[in-house]
């Protein structure tokens, strides 16, 4: 199986990950089909790097992140974190893994309990895991808030008393409470004003440098990904269609879908003429994906083989992975 892997040590290994949601009908809730949100995704993330998952809304990137952390159960596949089987872990083993694997959610307001002060929300995590109690826990809370750009007295405020950017800083501080090494950042800036987005991105980068963190960065904003990521994985209809180092991906995208996404990035200079690739048609339903290549219904270069044979994610001689019959002809 081709995975878009690195020869360096991988802290996270994902193999043939699947997440299907059942479609039910009738008073007996009979299953009549499945929504294939994640359909055979494989990749590795090296220790200390930022691996970005990109794609249109509904492509399965957020479901992939949540399934890796077991916030939703996997239908199939394998997930290994630091060599340990995440899907097989239970009880104390999963509790230990939870300390190392955390998430920053897209909406910072819904991610916080409106009836708890932010300090109480963070202290609860420390107490449940037996890390700190009482005054020691409060000191740890204030330290985390200050590290994330807030003030120590903010621990006594409620979520509604903060701006959107401040709430996201609180969510990041909470994610750091257990000293994790791996963080899923699920669209962490999409709900924020443009003027605040750069501050949060800089905070995430500073924390990564200081704490040696590893990120799975999920986003639909390719201009942010270019600034943030080390490697990029492109998802379409639940599948990975391209994986490459960031510089190579932006210099020479191989998959037609990736080319269309990159052509949509706005340029700051209005005098620069940029050719847009307009995709025709709608994204197929993940409940009834097309045969063959999932992108063939919208691809401007579609061939007969694309309609019947599913392309594998394979590397070029440069190590740039793509799932496309144009890139790997006669295979």
3-class secondary structure per residue, the chain:
CCCCCCCCCEEEEEEEEEEEEEEEECCCCEEEEEEEEEEEEEEEEECCCEEEEECCCCCCHHHHHHHHCCCCCCCEEEEEECCEECCCCCCHHHHHHHHHEEEECCCCCCCCCCCCCHHHHHHHHHHHCCCCCHHHHHHHHHHHHHHCCCCHHHHHCCHHHCCHHHHHHHHHHHHCCCCCCEEEEECCCCCCCHHHHHHHHHHHHHHHHHHCCEEEEEECCHHHHHHHCCEEEEEECCEEEEEEEHHHHHHCCCCHHHHHHHHCCCCCCCCCCCCCCCCCCCCCCCCCCCCCCCCCCCCCCCCHHHHCCCCCCEECCCCCEECCCCCCCCC
User: Which pLDDT belongs to residue 2?
Assistant: 39
Backbone dihedral angles phi then psi of residue 28, each to the nearest 5 degrees: -95, 5
C-beta atoms surrounding 330 within 10 Å:
5
Low-confidence ranges of the chain (pLDDT < 70): 1-8, 268-269, 271, 330-331
Tokens standing for residue 211: 């704490």
pTM strictly above 0.75: yes
Number of neighbours of residue 98 by Cβ within 10 angstroms: 17
Cα–Cα–Cα angle for 113, 205, 221, rounded to 5 degrees: 75
The pLDDT value recorded for residue 5 is 45
Question: Among 209, 202, 143, which residue's Cα sits nearest to residue 176?
Answer: 143
Residue 136 CA: distances (Å) to CA of 169, 180, 223: 21, 19, 41
Domains in the chain (CATH in brackets) are 10-115+158-322 (3.40.50.300)
β partners of residue 45 = 12
């Amino acid at each position: 199986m081709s995975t878009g892997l690195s020869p360096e040590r991988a802290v996270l290994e994902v193999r043939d990950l699947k997440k299907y949601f059942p479609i039910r009908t009738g008073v007996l809730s009979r299953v009549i089909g499945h929504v294939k949100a994640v359909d055979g995704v494989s990749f590795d993330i090296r220790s200390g790097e930022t691996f970005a998952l990109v794609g249109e809304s509904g492509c399965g990137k957020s479901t992939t992140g949540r399934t890796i952390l077991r916030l939703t159960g996997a239908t199939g596949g394998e997930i290994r974190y630091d060599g340990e089987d995440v899907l097989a872990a239970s009880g104390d083993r999963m509790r230990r893994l939870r300390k190392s694997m955390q998430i920053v959610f897209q909406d910072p307001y819904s991610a916080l309990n409106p009836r708890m002060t932010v300090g109480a929300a963070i202290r609860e995590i420390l107490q449940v895991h037996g890390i700190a109690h009482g005054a020691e826990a409060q000191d740890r809370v204030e330290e985390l808030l200050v590290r994330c750009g807030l003030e120590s007295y903010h621990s006594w405020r409620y979520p509604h008393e903060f701006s959107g950017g401040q709430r996201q800083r609180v969510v990041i501080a909470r994610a750091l409470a257990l000293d994790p090494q791996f963080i899923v950042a699920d669209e962490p800036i999409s709900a924020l004003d443009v003027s605040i987005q750069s501050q949060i991105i800089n905070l995430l980068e500073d924390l990564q440098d200081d704490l040696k963190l590893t990120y799975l960065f999920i986003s639909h904003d390719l201009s942010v990904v270019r600034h943030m990521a080390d490697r990029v994985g492109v998802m379409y209809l639940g599948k990975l269609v391209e994986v490459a180092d960031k510089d190579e991906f932006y210099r020479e995208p191989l998959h037609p879908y990736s080319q269309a996404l990159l052509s949509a990035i706005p340029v700051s200079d209005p005098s620069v003429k940029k050719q847009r690739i307009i995709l025709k048609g709608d994204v197929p339903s993940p409940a009834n994906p097309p045969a063959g290549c999932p992108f063939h219904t919208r691809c401007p270069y579609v061939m007969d083989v694309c309609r019947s044979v599913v392309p594998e994610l394979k590397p070029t001689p440069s190590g740039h992975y793509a799932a496309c019959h144009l890139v790997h002809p006669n295979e």
